[in-house]
Chain A
Amino acid sequence: MNKVANKQVICDVLMEHAQTDRNIIVTCSDSRGSASLTEFGKRFPDQMIEVGIAEQSLVSVSAGMAKCGKKVYAASPACFLSTRSMEQVKVDVAYSDTNVKLIGISGGISYGALGMTHHSAQDIAALASIPNMRVYLPSDRFQTKALMEALLQDDKPAYIRVGRNAVDDVYEEDDVPFVMDHATVVCEGEDVAIIACGEMVRPAKDAAKLLNEKGISATVLDMYCVKPIDKEAVIKAAGKAKAVVTVEEHSAYGGLGSMVTQIVCENCPKKVAVMALPDEPAVGGKSQEVFDHYGLNAQTISQIAESLL
């Protein structure tokens, strides 16, 4: 099993490039430890700016630096970065079109036992609704690396949400089928399309395996690019399937499920089951316990998929 969290991968990629590109700057709000960026700060002290526990200022300061030619990676817990700083993200980053990459760490219910103040079940809905803001939830360490390498090549705003814990790999080290802003087809089938993002892709992949054992074939789409969503991939996968299941570590309102449902209803109407967190503050506990409580696991995904057929 992989023991590397996606946030660690982000630090590694940034360290690799910061060496040769002095304009790469990490900003943090007393969050370098939780973002696994302590090592970056030690190696590149001149390329890290600390603003203290002040997430609004974090985003505005980052935007100002970006306007003056810096490539800024602002790392803070997803729960605070996405909604406490939403106004700054909207005006100073998205509307002002500054090259700030917002790194939302410990997203979803990564901070399980810390409770609902530290969960981020609204970040996709909040940030995807802002024009000129992109939203990415990579699924495993290999995809996180590929995504970060791609983001280093552009100068547009983006939000990247990663979890706190190490997650099982979805891909193989030498086989990461990644094309920027195109969903990755994890496996293809005829009966049901399972569309997942972030750290729900691995249980979706495992669910396809369980379904296969019952003679049901499933397509699994890794929609790491929640915005801009890969509409063509949704239509292709949903079009040939009898039903669609979406899976996300987010509220059912305004997340991946909402977006996929819009596309399916407009283009190839059929049943869609949205698997997400319920409209209530999520219970506390270890992340896996919380996932199991809400049915965000391979077993339940496969049962829901089967029930639609």
Chain B
Amino acid sequence: MNEEKYFELTGGFRPDFIAEAAEWKHEDHSAESEIGAIFEAELKRRTPELHSDTDTEKELPSVEAAEAEPIEPMPEISQNDMPRHLAAGITAIAAAIALTVGALVYMAQRPGDSMITPAGTTLADSSILSVQTGMEPGISVQTQTAAQSGSSAAENPASGTDSAGSGTAENSESASGGESDAENYTGTNFLGGSGHLRLIASGEPKLDFGQSTLQYDTSNLMGTMALEDDDYWYLLFGSQYSRISKTERDADGKAHNEYICQQAGCPHNSEACPAFQASQLVTDGRDLYAFSFNVLFSISDDGTRTPFFRLSEDSDGNRYRNGSPHDDPNDPGSADIPAENWYSEMGLIYFTRLGDTGKWFACFQLSHFDSTRPTFVNAVFEPMNEKGESTATLLKLPYNNIDCRFAFDSEKELLYAGVPEEHNENEGFSGYLLYAIDIHTGEAEKQSDAHLPSNWFYSGGKVYGIGWDEQVFIEGGKPNGGRMVDNYGCLNLETGEWTVIEENTNLENVNCIGSKVYARRQRSVGDDTVIRMNPDGTEEEVLYTRKNRITALNYVSEGFIFVQTSGGFELILNGECIPLDFRYDF
């Protein structure tokens, strides 16, 4: 399909579909409003005499009469008519209608305690009181005793060695020039705040952590992360950069975010500008870097940049250059470089530290002057030496294509990643398969023929995630239609067997910090929670409850939860909910 055909095809999409998408953000898609609309419609259907426009005075049916009538179940509503999160069943609708909405449940803490139990501790170290369901209006409070809070994920590496994390306790000297020096920094940093810039969470704007698993969307060339220093929290997502003061509050006591650069008249086009710096900022899951003009720089708190890596040659002897193919006497041998290795622009797609091996994995996208299709270089590399030399070890991936989720096993020194099953231009591919990649040789070995579930993570030699299973309806002993349901389960890599842990799950944003799984769960309509559990589903703890729909867990680490709800954004810091006036669009 060429561009003209594409525009012709898509240009014929129905105008109401186009408008629906444009108006989506501005509509209330909360569970309450959707339930309310369904309930209202059904109420009118059942009691038309009470909803006549012409006659408003009707005798209400007596309670006795109502009780004498058999109660009809609510009508079946197809999944197409209901938001996805209501697929749990009709009883959920009835329960939701009965709920009193609008109450906020705080996770309060006793003095000296912390809300979050550090990863690796068991429930013997903490206790959780039962959570009020919110049947009564008002605020219900849950207290939890816990061991002293762990610091941010960046400072508390995962303890599990075969979970999705680096798993090592000792941190090697960072590229920024020494861990202790960095942490002791007290001056103004390059984002305009004071003190050392610390990574809170990184990757996609969902549950993600400051560890070596790092997920980027393929089209997001710049980093997505949450940072903090002594003055601010910084939220970087796509091209939206904002900061929240740790101390300043509005007249009504709310925290608020503001654009990351508050310099009047700033054109945002130099390293003196926090927004410019943020636009080039990436992280390997622990340290910060800047990617600029096809070079990856390590960056210290005061903004000093040191060249860290430049793609110039790979393990197959391929050489790369920026510019158009040419023969430059000042660049010996440039005429011999294949045209496809000349690039007009290089983008950094994925970038992650591989534990403490002294190696990093990166995916670079090369744009070319004479082609509309970029090429990709997936490689493991070491930082450049004093001479500016570095060789990238190419990953030998089928189709040179890798998904945005991966995990590093520091004991085995294997990088686990999803690779598309097929690369047939006509048929596309049907799913991702798990490959284990030797970071020293680049050799990639398929681990299973079973498709990876979505939101997958690797722990204890198994792959967990939410798989899309078919639920077949049986009528009269015969299959009669079916539907696809989301089950949380476990994929045995050896046998390819998929075991369902939780059928028709209401877990979302599932991800793993160390040995624990963090996710959001909708216990009932309008009652979303953030939970933590073992990968096998045991020992589930409720970390945060919100009497509203949590639409996304944007950034999470121990002690820092930033969520998006149907009522706006909220910041939960060590158990305290910070009222927040948040703009998401500058």
Q: Do A and B come from one complex?
A: no
Give the interface of A toward B (CB within 8 A): none
